[in-house]
Amino acid sequence: MILPGLVSVTFRRLQVQEIITLVLEAGLKGIEWGGDIHVPHGDLRRAKEVAQCTLDAGLSVVAYGSYYRFDEQELPFAKVLETAIALKAPLIRVWAGKKGSADTSEAEWERIVERSRIIADQAAEVGIKLAYEYHGGTLTDTNESALKLLTAVNHQNVYSLWQSLCHHSQETRLEGLQQIKPWLANLHVYYWQQGTRLPLAQGISLWQEYLRQLTDLRTIHYGLLEFVVNDQPEQLLQDAKQFIQLLAAINR
């Protein structure tokens, strides 16, 4: 089953309580809280407050959207992990480096693979999963590199998110989703064309294709809305309505 939710950084200008109110109005079930604005890395008091507000509203903390990129000097993973614990997040989103797969040296690949295993062990000790952002400019920028990374790490606590990358064709997106399905954590849901954000309704047939590939999932996953047109709350309400209707048909 796939449940609808929101990536909080979709609305960086909104306060935590405003986001919670919007999510409830949209009929969504959970929130991935971002580590840059709403739950800053290392701010444990804030993380605990956001966790309580989310749970009090009857919503789930779906994940902690960290900005950890395997550079311990820039952002130590220990700070990310302690924040995720305070937030009561079941999963931490991390970025597979700072460069695209074609521009990453073999030594850099090996470092990210080894470091992934280490931090996955650390997260597993406190019952938190680790998932790569599925994104350009990282080691998950192509189907082949994402699969190479996941198989090389080969760790039971390492997963991947998935989103429809703009530089991929629809056929390539479907192939990539099928390939990483054994590692799939959650989906980031939006619709772009040629770098332009569009209402989800215009891409609903594409999302229907993606979700049809996931009808055999045995555990709960979230489809997390983001990148709404002009960052408008009203657009989220429209996108959420479309997505919830689609999920109702798929989840039967």
The confidence score (pLDDT) of residue 251 equals 74
The CATH number assigned to the domain holding 114 equals 3.20.20.150
The confidence score (pLDDT) of residue 218 equals 86
Taking each helix axis from N to C end, the angle separating 143-153 and 170-180, rounded to the nearest 10 degrees, works out to 10
pTM of the model: 0.96
What is the 3-class SS of the chain, one letter each residue?
A: CEEEEEEHHHHCCCCHHHHHHHHHHHCCCEEEEECCCCCCCCCHHHHHHHHHHHHHCCCEEEEEECCCCCCCCCCCHHHHHHHHHHHCCCEEEECCCCCCHHHCCHHHHHHHHHHHHHHHHHHHHCCCEEEECCCCCCCCCCHHHHHHHHHHHCCCCEEEEECCCCCCCHHHHHHHHHHHHHHEEEEEECCEECCEECCHHHHHHHHHHHHHCCCCCCCCEEEEECCCHHHCHHHHHHHHHHHHHHHHHHCC
Measured between alpha carbons, how far is 157 from 38 in angstroms, rounded to an integer? 26
The confidence score (pLDDT) of residue 157 equals 98
The total of structural domains in the chain comes to 1
Report mean pLDDT in 10-residue bins for the chain, 252 residues. 96 98 98 97 98 98 97 94 98 96 95 98 98 96 97 98 89 95 97 92 96 91 97 97 94 73
The confidence score (pLDDT) of residue 241 equals 98
Structural domain that includes position 58:
2-250
The confidence score (pLDDT) of residue 1 equals 87
Candidates 111, 83, 98, 174; CA nearest to 140 is: 98
The confidence score (pLDDT) of residue 162 equals 97
- Count Cβ atoms below 10 Å from residue 223 Cβ, excluding itself: 25
